[in-house]
A = this chain, B = another copy of it.
Amino acid sequence: MRLYLVTSNEHKYQEAKKILEDLDILFLKAPIGKFEIQADSLRTVAWSAALHAYKILREAVVVDDSGLFIEALKGFPGVYSNYVFRTLGIEGILKLMRNVEDRRACFKTALAAIVPPLDVVLEGEVCGTITSEPLGKGGFGFDPIFVPEGERRTFAQMSVDEKNKYSHRARAFRLFARWLKENFKL
């Protein structure tokens, strides 16, 4: 079976590839861009991106959409995390969180896949807290200000393998691997 991941992020592709490596599939990066709609739910964004990709490729596709949801900011930056990272950046988030006591936040991923004749939407989540200053140089995006529950270090202070123990995206892809195994006997 050929399965296409729709992403322009090589890092995401390698991470997912590692999680799916035990399965008997040819896992490829799709030759098309991810089509993103504006919606308040990651599931909706991921699902329409999967539909769009499947309509063009007519082969098994998987897409993920992720975001950081900060409790005290009513879920902001949420589905628009990439855009907010590029405009306000980490500094902007820390400014919004200045003097805010409730530091709870969750990283979430929705993964949508069309693997004929089946479809699936799965979620991965990791909750934790927002720091008051950036720490660490690893990871990407808002990793330097996020500490997962049960840890004292930010995602940016961890190795890739350590981060993957907790990561929302890795969790969603592990669920997906299990789903593929169960439904397609791979």
Report the copy number of this chain in the oligomer.
Answer: 2
Please, which residue of chain B has its CB at the minimum distance from the CB of A99? B95
A74 within 8 Å of B by Cβ?
yes
Please, which residue of chain B has its CB at the minimum distance from the CB of A78? B87
A35 within 8 Å of B by Cβ?
yes
By a CB distance below 8 angstroms, the chain B residues around A74 are: 86-88
CA distance A39 to B38 in the complex (A): 9
Give 5 new A-B contacts, CB below 8 A, not counting A37-B38, A96-B96. Answer: A35-B37, A76-B88, A79-B83, A92-B96, A95-B96
By a CB distance below 8 angstroms, the chain B residues around A30 are: none
**Which A residues lie at the B interface, using CB under 8 A?**
35-40, 45, 73-76, 78-80, 83-84, 86-88, 92, 95-96, 98
Taking the closest CB of chain B, its distance from the CB of A67, in whole angstroms, is: 12
Taking the closest CB of chain B, its distance from the CB of A154, in whole angstroms, is: 22
CA distance A4 to B96 in the complex (A): 40
By a CB distance below 8 angstroms, the chain B residues around A84 are: 76
CA distance A19 to B84 in the complex (A): 35
Please, which residue of chain B has its CB at the minimum distance from the CB of A86? B74
Please, which residue of chain B has its CB at the minimum distance from the CB of A40? B83
Tell which of A45, A83, A84 has the most Cβ of chain B within 10 Å. Answer: A83
**Contact A96 B88, beta carbon cutoff 8 Å:** yes
By a CB distance below 8 angstroms, the chain B residues around A88 are: 73-74, 76, 96
